[in-house]
Chain A
Amino acid sequence: GENVEQHPSTLSVQEGDSAVIKCTYSDSASNYFPWYKQELGKGPQLIIDIRSNVGEKKDQRIAVTLNKTAKHFSLHITETQPEDSAVYFCAAFRTTSGTYKYIFGTGTRLKVLA
């Protein structure tokens, strides 16, 4: 069945250090992988995404990498700041025929310590 595993569930880093969150998906037909940041009491906010024809994408301090063969994708945040503290969710989506839904990972609670 469709499944996205996300690790770690919690992550604490010192301000200025890097944070890495990893996800593994099961549906080989998935071809779009967004990452969302959710702050307390708010809805998930799309922060970066990657499509299966790309191996890496970067936007300022955040980057996402994708290994299609291993069905892994990761979020990298460099030079972390206290405002990066939030819950981060990865998701996998297939845009070919069949199921049209985002399958989310279980989330990673990131704490950036000042």
Chain B
Amino acid sequence: RKEVEQDPGPFNVPEGATVAFNCTYSNSASQSFFWYRQDCRKEPKLLMSVYSSGNEDGRFTAQLNRASQYISLLIRDSKLSDSATYLCVVRDYGQNFVFGPGTRLSVLP
């Protein structure tokens, strides 16, 4: 069974902190990787794709380690508005996407 695993949290961090989330996937043939954020009772919103060389978008940095089959997301200088559930998503093959259960982040004032 192909799975994507995440620590459910919650991660409670103060504003300005740096926080990191990890995600592991079971299918070594997985082809594409993404981080989404989901606010309570809302739709997932694309945060960033994750590339083999790692990539950065402002305060967010994503890394992929294919050998160990894990993906990470680093958030620097946390804002209150970063409070959400962060979803790790893996495209296994074709158009088959597997979502992780999400990691909940609360940024506290």
Genuine A/B complex: no
* Interface residues of B, Cβ cutoff 8 Å to A: none
Write the residues of chain A forming the contact surface with B, with a CB cutoff of 8 angstroms.
none
